[in-house]
Amino acid sequence: MRRDWAGSVVSRIVKFMMFALMFFFVFVPLFGYLVMRLWNWLMPGLFGWHLITFWQAIGILVLSRILFGGFHGRHGGRGHWRHRMRERWEHMTPEEREKFRQSMGGRCGPFAPPAAEPKS
């Protein structure tokens, strides 16, 4: 039984490594090339900026990932935040829930389903 488990773990690691290598050697250059082509097509005509090389396009991809995407895992922190908020919501009394809806309504728009409009 233990031997099967170890084999499946090794199989998963090998599959992951194959996918990672494929991603690195196929998709990263492809996305870099697409960024370079789009930049060189749009930016000089629109803003008068210079043309960029392939490696500069890869640098733009890495920079945008750092600034906008981060380097967190697959799930990030969003799932954890939702879980915590759901737990807090379940522990609120109906009065606390209504107060929360009222406070969030001004910031995020209506927090409850819209009321039915009278027909004219």
Q: Copy the structure tokens of residue 44.
A: 């000089």
Within-domain flag for 88: no
Mean pLDDT of 50-65: 94
Residue 51 pLDDT grade (very low, low, confident, very high; cuts 50, 70, 90): very high
Helix (H, G, I), strand (E, B) or coil at 109: coil
Quick one: pLDDT band at residue 83, thresholds 50, 70, 90? confident
Q: Give residue-wise pLDDT tens across range 3-17.
A: 566 668 888 899 999
The residue among 67, 22, 61 whose CA lies nearest residue 38 is 61
Q: Which domain covers residue 64, as residue numbers?
A: 1-72
Instruction: Evaluate whether residue 13 is within a structural domain.
Output: yes
List, in order, residues 6 or more apart from 58 with CB less than 8 Å away: 28, 32, 35
Query: So what's the pLDDT on residue 100?
Result: 85
What is the DSSP-derived secondary structure letter of residue 76?
A: T
Over 80: is that where the pLDDT of 37 sits? yes
- Is 91 domain-assigned? no
Residue 22 domain-assigned? yes
Please tell me the predicted confidence (pLDDT) of residue 57.
96
The per-residue pLDDT for 21 is 92
The b-or-e profile of 25-38 (16+ CB within 10 A means b, else e) is eeeeeeebeebbee
- Tally of domains within the chain: 1
pTM of the predicted structure, to 2 decimals: 0.50
- Reported as a single tens digit per residue, the pLDDT across 87-116 is 888 999 999 988 888 887 767 666 555 555
Which residue has better confidence, 60 or 85? 60
pLDDT at 75: 53
Residue 96 within any structural domain of the chain: no
